[in-house]
Structure 1
Amino acid sequence: MKKGIIRALVICIFQKDDSILVAEGYDSVKGEYFYRPIGGGIEYGEKSTEALMREVREEIETEIFNLTYLGTVENIFTFNEEVGHEIVQVYDADFVDSTFYTEALFEGKESDGNTFKIMRLPISRFQNDELRLVPKGLLDLIKEQQNC
């Protein structure tokens, strides 16, 4: 996070039945785990759909299609005692490789080489407050889409 900068991000939930795909994160100051759909920063001159396809390629080395825009969430948060501010474009999409729907847990890779856990989790685990889904407002956006 860069202090004083509002970041433009794109994420994708990859919903299947009653589950979404999320990466596990950890705030070492708060001592709390959180879960966020995969994606990342939108670069200058890049459309959000292009950024999402690039980020998925970089993080889990696969291709996606059938991107569906779900909405935008503005997120002001604290992570490791630093305040962050994001404007997050949210999508759903399909994987070209169907094994990403059957694997319960796999590994993603950041551009710096660090790895992280990615898992498919039931939406109900976020709805009943068992697990925390970020960005704030994402769960409401998912519920909105389910009611359409």
Structure 2
Amino acid sequence: MAEQRIRALALCVFHHQGKILVNRFHDPVADKSFYRPIGGGIEFGETSREAIVREVQEELGLSMKDLRLLGTLESLFVYNGKPGHEIVQVYDARFEDAQVYEQLQIDGHESDGAPFTVSWQDSSSFTEQSPLVPVGLAALLESVKMLG
């Protein structure tokens, strides 16, 4: 059995005209979809700020500016039948290239090469059946007036 451990994660919430950029995932065991902003694991010796810049560059090939920390969330969850525990640093930033905001969706790839597509979604997209994760993210975004 794999060792259970707490994972340190950095996510970035890019927002534009009441929408945020998210990736849609599907949990085949729970048969449930969910949305999560772009980001990934913080590597040893790397700050969360450095991690989010690296992740966005690696996954989307895009640069960012005006990076600021919004808050920290602790996430306990089950995905694909396995328990998970993450400490999540949540950032806000702007893309260097303003034309990115005109695209309805953006193609990217995970570190293992698996393709994915992120899209701009407003709060009506996030439901109990397809929530925004990690838990507490929607409330954090509402508190800083990024999601209504």
- Percent identical residues: 45
Counterpart AA for 2:26? Y
Question: Which residue in the other structure is 2:45 paired with?
Answer: 45
The alignment covers a number of residue pairs equal to: 145
- State the alpha-carbon separation in 2 of the partners of residues 25 and 81 from structure 1: 14
- State the alpha-carbon separation in 2 of the partners of residues 34 and 67 from structure 1: 25
Counterpart AA for 2:139? D
Question: Which residue in the other structure is 2:132 paired with?
Answer: 133
Counterpart AA for 1:131? S
TM-score (norm: length of structure 1) = 0.92
Farther-moved stretch of structure 1 (100-109 vs 129-138): 129-138
Question: Which residue in the other structure is 2:142 paired with?
Answer: 143
- State the alpha-carbon separation in 1 of the partners of residues 123 and 45 from structure 2: 33
Question: Which residue in the other structure is 2:78 paired with?
Answer: 78
The 3-state SS of whatever aligns with 2:16 is coil
Counterpart AA for 1:137? G
Deviating beyond 2 angstroms after TM superposition, the runs of 4 or more aligned structure 1 residues are 123-126, 128-131
* RMSD of aligned residue pairs (Cα, Å): 1.5
Q: How does 1:51-66 map to 2 (within 5 A)?
A: 51-66=51-66
Q: How does 1:1-148 map to 2 (within 5 A)?
A: 3-126=3-126, 129=128, 131-146=130-145
| Cα pair 1:3 1:84 within 8 Å, conserved | no
| Cα pair 1:59 1:109 within 8 Å, conserved | yes
- State the alpha-carbon separation in 1 of the partners of residues 100 and 5 from structure 2: 34
Evaluate the alpha carbon distance shift between residue 8 and residue 15 of structure 1 in structure 2; reply closer, same or farther with a 3 A threshold: same
Farther-moved stretch of structure 1 (97-106 vs 49-58): 97-106
Q: Offset of 1:129 from its aligned partner? A: 4.5
| Cα pair 1:3 1:83 within 8 Å, conserved | no
- State the alpha-carbon separation in 1 of the partners of residues 53 and 117 from structure 2: 19
| Cα pair 1:29 1:81 within 8 Å, conserved | yes
- State the alpha-carbon separation in 1 of the partners of residues 122 and 40 from structure 2: 22
